[in-house]
Amino acid sequence: DAGVTQSPTHLIKTRGQQVTLRCSPKSGHDTVSWYQQALGQGPQFIFQYYEEEERQRGNFPDRFSGHQFPNYSSELNVNALWLGDSALYLCASEPRDRPKTGELFFGEGSRLTVL
Amino acid sequence: GDSVTQMEGPVTLSEEAFLTINCTYTATGYPSLFWYVQYPGEGLQLLLKATKADDKGSNKGFEATYRKETTSFHLEKGSVQVSDSAVYFCALIEEYVDMRFGAGTRLTVKP
């Protein structure tokens, strides 16, 4: 049973560029959340998707956008990158057909470096 | 708003030492509380949880008790092993509030 998979694992971009990160949830999970983890910090919630719509959003600017596909996989897009966007981006999945348990399954993350 | 504060690290212990990592929280309602662990090169994984006051979560020898009166959820283990070396995150969640994580505490256990 595959867990949460993310790609790419590492990438380097320059300021002003755009990036797309991808996530496949754990089998049986239909809800995907994205988190930003800066160096030495805890993960910060970006947004959550289920039924192909953004359902909840954290305190991140509109430069951060996402998408969920019919197969429940998801993308995170960040436009106009700046140095402060350098971080580990984590995807987490959970099944929707249960109460909010907080039992998230995380991928290993995509480490983005902005130069 | 809701937040989690955990003790700053790093923490370095010898094998078989007693571990405590402090965690306190601020919440508007009645959150569920969690400890997640991040082993080197791996994603975060749930270690234990507690959903209401006085509940004790436990797993792999780790324990934490939900203390509403002190708004705390301290992580303890009686005898740590080298394999426990990781970063530990305290977290909370409430209805209509996203998961909030603390800054993490890096634990290194030396043989």
Tell me how close the Cα of B32 comes to any Cα of chain A, in angstroms: 8
Q: What is the pLDDT of residues A34-93, one digit of tens each?
A: 999 999 899 999 999 999 999 989 999 999 999 999 999 999 999 999 999 999 999 999
pLDDT of residue B28: 87
* Phi, psi at A85, each rounded to 5°: -85, -5
Answer whether A95 touches B (CB < 8 Å). Answer: no
Please choose, from the candidates A21, A4, A15, the residue with its C-alpha nearest in 3D space to the C-alpha of residue A83: A15
Q: Which of B27, B25, B111 is nearest to B75 (CA)?
A: B25
Task: Among B43, B95, B103, select the one facing A42 at the smallest CB separation.
Answer: B103
Say if the Cβ atoms of B44 and A43 lie within 8 Å.
yes
Place of tokens 């934490």: B64
Question: What distance in Å separates the CA atoms of residue A72 and residue A97, rounded to the nearest whole number?
Answer: 14
Window B:56-75, CB contacts with A under 8 Å: none
Residue A2 pLDDT exceeds 80: no
Which one of B43, B99, B102 has the shortest CB-CB distance to A107?
Answer: B43
pLDDT at B98: 84
pLDDT digits (tens, 9 = 90+) for B54-105: 999 999 999 999 999 999 999 999 999 999 999 999 999 987 778 899 999 9
Which residues does chain A have within 8 Å of residue B43's beta carbon, measured at their own beta carbons? Answer: 3-4, 90, 106-109
How many A-B residue pairs are in contact by the CB < 8 A criterion?
53
